[in-house]
Amino acid sequence: MAKIAFIGLGNMGSGMAANLVKAGHEVLAFDLSADAVAHAVNSGASAAASAAEAVAAAEAVVTMLPAGKHVRAVYEGEIFGSAAPGTLFMDCSTIDVASARHVGGLAVEKGFRFVDAPVSGGVAAAQGGTLTFMVGGSEADFAAAEVFLDAMGKAVLRAGDLGAGQAAKICNNMLLAITMIGTCEAFALADKLGLDAQKFFDISSKASGQSWSMTSYCPVPGPIPTTPANNGYKPGFATAMMLKDLKLAQDAAQTAGATTPLGAQAEALYAMFDNLGGGASDFSGIYKLLDGSWGE
């Protein structure tokens, strides 16, 4: 078992850190929120006073931070100068590809090991240890990281070299946003046409309209009792986080010269929902915007 520093204990990170503890690892936890650190301690982790203190004693480090600027600042400002040579870094944040490659490249230059390993699955999967990890890095670093990522997920997949994990994540979430909007539109139309939601689910989930958004994360109350739609659209995966990922996807598309018209429309719709106060709701809550019931 290993000594692991975990930096960033938000809704996702707290569950991930707890699963590393359950797997028998010694976890040194740090977050700017004292409450988040206290929660991690209650889950069996040890508190660190700073990111630098946490990584100084660790052989592996997991970071789960909000954006590329935070990843750059923490790694360049505290982590690189405090970690022991050969330390394995696993950045599970969802950030821009350029930042992932920049930080990962610096890590390798300094004699560390590094993978970008963003996740898919949401808060429930983070707590249940059933996340999917999309990993960018060398084959050797992936093999080293896989041992730890397995403790937090159901699937750990190497996408390619540094930055490939982030590329896979933003492409995946752009697709998810598009299929969720389409699923919500279909349910809203079915309702206007007098078709019962359960009946439509029973048919479409076994027909060509089937998708993950339909059968695993159905955006209307009823068909799947465990979805956010049956819990007042509490996240889950918040609209604000989906909007962040869609912005990353559009920035990447512009840089790469890719044409993503549906991705752009998805970003515009989620930006509208966010501006209307839906940012803290689950991203499937956009159904209420599309059926006209948001704000009622």
Based on C-alpha coordinates, what's the Rg of the chain? 20
Closest CA to 135 of 121, 114, 154: 114
Cα–Cα distance list, 40 to 19, 141, 152, 208, 246 (Å)? 11, 27, 15, 44, 30
77/178 Cα distance (integer angstroms): 37
205/149 Cα distance (integer angstroms): 32
For this structure, is 169 an active site residue?
yes
253/175 Cα distance (integer angstroms): 13
Tell me how crowded residue 119 is: count the other CB atoms within 10 A of its CB: 22
Residue of 169, 199, 234, 288 marked active site: 169
Task: Give the active site residues.
Answer: 169
